[in-house]
């Protein structure tokens, strides 16, 4: 009979290093809505108002882009496909807020429209792409909400392709971070192609000069490793930003919203992201080190060493010197046969005030199934208790 077994480990047995923090530096965001996550470690570093509904403003365009990326990677849409700027669409969105300066009846490519959305935050580009993919904006909004269900959004509803004020459209900071995370993890090549541009040139002025617009990302060039994602602003939403940066093998995703000015957004985004990198650090757990042994049922060996997979790491506060608790949880005894590298349990780690982190535990070596008489004898012993 199997039982759930937990082995409590000393922190030193994990080879985490000499400096194991017990608590993190405090942070008080100036934004009414704020959320920060280390997506590699799958751990939330900060959350304030993150599950409260709010208008998305142009940050809704991240979902428009995610739907398009999904269509591209599934082969249903190509970057060189062209989309027609319908007269009705042009009349409604020409020079309406942020714009790509599309001309009526022009046929930009999907690639150009994505650049116009991500870099220039074009309201016109978002609607043209939505109509190109789904026929109408309402139909595209349905696709946005379906994608939201697929990636696990819990507090958002989309009604527009560009975040223009609509009483039926709302998001949470938590959900915006999830959109960013899904974009980065599910479509890494497209993310790198479109979210890292410093500027974008499309269209021309009345005098025939090309129009170049700079990326509105406030942390590009200010925060080391910054590469995405999207700003937003309406009167109701205030100034918001969903951003990401990667540094020293760690990728953080942050959301701030409800700020009063562009300068407030820029300064708070920079401060927030730098705090996430400076107040916490990623700690690699030594691979191959035997951290425990587990009994094996029906195997040529009576027990197997437990270790951690290559690349396993945790995030810990970058201060103080002690306070990490660790335990291994697995079903005991483990049934043979086992192959080296098979996941057999989980390592649960509590570091300071951070939420518990979970790392897979694997078999350190293979264990073959025992012969018939050995299995029969083991079964008899099991019956005898």
Give the CATH number for residue 157: 3.40.710.10
Lowest mean pLDDT of 11-25, 57-71, 74-88, 267-281, name the range: 11-25
Among 163, 215, 174, residue whose Cα is nearest residue 59: 163
Please tell me whether residue 149 adopts helix, strand or coil conformation.
helix
Does 310 lie in the same domain as 220? no
Q: What is the mean pLDDT of the chain?
A: 88
Does 364 lie in the same domain as 271? no
User: Strands 324-332, 3-9: parallel, antiparallel or unpaired by DSSP?
Assistant: antiparallel
| End position of a domain, from candidates 278, 303, 327 | 278
pLDDT above 90 coverage of the chain, percent: 71
Does 301 lie in the same domain as 263? no
Please tell me whether residue 300 adopts helix, strand or coil conformation.
coil
| Residue 369 or residue 239, greater confidence | 239
Residue 222 inside a domain? The answer is yes
Please state the φ and ψ torsions of residue 248, each to the nearest 5 degrees: 55, 40
| Residue 121 annotated among the catalytic residues of the structure | yes
> Inter-axis angle of helices 188-195 and 110-118, to 10 degrees?
70
Does 224 lie in the same domain as 123? yes
pLDDT in tens, 236-253: 999 999 999 999 889 999
Other residues' Cβ atoms within 10 Å of the Cβ of residue 32: 16
Catalytic residue among 29, 98, 121, 313: 121
pLDDT number for residue 2? 55
* pLDDT tier for residue 170 given thresholds of 50, 70 and 90: very high
Residue 253 inside a domain? The answer is yes
Residue 63 inside a domain? The answer is yes
Does 250 lie in the same domain as 185? yes
> Strand order in 226-234's β-sheet?
43-48, 33-38, 250-259, 238-247, 226-234
Catalytic residue among 29, 58, 156, 313: 58
CATH of the domain at 293: 2.60.410.10
pLDDT number for residue 29? 94
Domain that includes residue 378, residue range: 3-20+285-384
Does 41 lie in the same domain as 85? yes
Please tell me whether residue 200 adopts helix, strand or coil conformation.
strand
| Residue 128 or residue 280, greater confidence | 128
* pLDDT tier for residue 265 given thresholds of 50, 70 and 90: very high
Contact (CB, 8 A) for 202 and 100? yes
| End position of a domain, from candidates 278, 295, 310 | 278
| Residue 315 or residue 76, greater confidence | 76
Long-range contacts, stretch 14-17, CB < 8 angstroms, 24+ apart? 14/285, 14/286, 14/289, 14/291, 14/308, 14/324, 14/326, 14/347, 14/349, 15/285, 15/286, 15/289, 16/283, 16/285, 16/314, 16/324, 17/283
| End position of a domain, from candidates 258, 278, 298 | 278
Please tell me whether residue 100 adopts helix, strand or coil conformation.
coil
User: Strands 303-307, 343-351: parallel, antiparallel or unpaired by DSSP?
Assistant: unpaired
Does 377 lie in the same domain as 229? no
According to DSSP, residue 26 is labeled P
Does 302 lie in the same domain as 262? no
Does 342 lie in the same domain as 316? yes
Binding site annotation covers 230?
yes
pLDDT number for residue 22? 32
Residue 26 inside a domain? The answer is no
Residue 27 inside a domain? The answer is no
Residue 315 inside a domain? The answer is yes
* pLDDT tier for residue 129 given thresholds of 50, 70 and 90: very high
CA distances from 267 to 69, 76, 180, 262, 278 (A): 30, 40, 21, 9, 16
Please state the φ and ψ torsions of residue 264, each to the nearest 5 degrees: -60, -45
Average pLDDT over residues 223-230: 96
Does 338 lie in the same domain as 243? no
pLDDT number for residue 317? 78
Catalytic residue among 29, 37, 61, 313: 61
| Residue 315 or residue 200, greater confidence | 200
Q: Give Cβ neighbours of residue 70 (< 8 Å, ≥ 6 apart).
A: 147, 186, 187
Residue 128 inside a domain? The answer is yes
Does 164 lie in the same domain as 97? yes
Whether 25 shows a pLDDT value over 60: the answer reads no
Place of tokens 């938590």: 174
Long-range contacts, stretch 73-80, CB < 8 angstroms, 24+ apart? 73/186, 73/187, 73/190, 77/110, 77/133, 78/110, 79/109, 79/110, 79/111, 79/114, 80/109, 80/110, 80/111
CA distances from 227 to 245, 252, 306 (A): 6, 11, 38
- Tally of domains in the chain: 2
Does 225 lie in the same domain as 115? yes
Residue 28 inside a domain? The answer is no
């Amino acid at each position: 009979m199997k039982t759930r077994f937990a082995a409590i480990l000393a922190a030193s047995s994990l080879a985490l290093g000499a400096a194991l923090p017990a608590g993190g530096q405090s942070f008080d965001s100036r934004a009414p809505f704020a959320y920060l996550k280390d997506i590699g470690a799958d751990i939330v570093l900060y959350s304030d108002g993150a599950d409260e509904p709010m208008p998305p403003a142009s940050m809704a365009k991240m979902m428009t882009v995610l739907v398009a990326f999904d269509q591209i990677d599934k082969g249903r849409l190509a970057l060189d496909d062209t989309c027609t700027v319908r007269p009705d669409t042009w009349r409604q969105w020409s020079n309406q807020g942020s714009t790509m300066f599309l001309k009526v009846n022009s046929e930009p490519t999907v690639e150009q429209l994505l650049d116009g959305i991500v870099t220039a935050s074009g309201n016109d580009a978002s609607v043209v792409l939505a109509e190109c993919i789904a026929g109408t904006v309402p139909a595209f909004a349905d696709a946005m909400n379906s994608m939201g269900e697929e990636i696990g959004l819990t507090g958002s509803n989309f009604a527009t392709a560009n975040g223009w004020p609509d009483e039926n459209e709302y998001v949470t900071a938590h959900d915006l971070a999830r959109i960013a995370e899904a974009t980065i993890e599910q479509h890494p090549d497209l993310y790198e192609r479109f979210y890292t541009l410093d500027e974008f040139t499309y269209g021309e002025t009345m005098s025939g000069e090309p129009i170049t617009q700079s990326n509105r990302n406030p942390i590009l060039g200010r925060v080391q490793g910054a590469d995405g994602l999207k700003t937003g602003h309406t009167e109701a939403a205030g100034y918001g930003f969903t951003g990401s940066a990667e540094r020293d093998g760690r990728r953080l995703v942050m959301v701030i919203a409800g700020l009063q000015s562009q300068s407030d957004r820029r300064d708070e985004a920079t401060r927030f992201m730098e705090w996430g990198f400076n107040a916490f650090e990623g700690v690699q757990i030594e691979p191959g080190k035997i951290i425990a042994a587990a009994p094996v049922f029906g195997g040529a060996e009576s027990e197997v060493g437990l270790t951690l997979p290559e690349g396993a790491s945790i995030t810990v506060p970058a201060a103080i010197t002690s306070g990490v608790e660790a335990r291994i949880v697995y079903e005991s005894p483990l049934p043979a046969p086992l192959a080296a590298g098979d996941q057999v349990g989980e390592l649960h780690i509590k570091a300071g005030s951070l939420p518990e982190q979970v790392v897979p535990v694997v078999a350190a070596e293979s264990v073959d199934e025992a012969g018939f008489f050995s299995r029969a004898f083991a079964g008899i012993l099991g019956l005898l208790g």
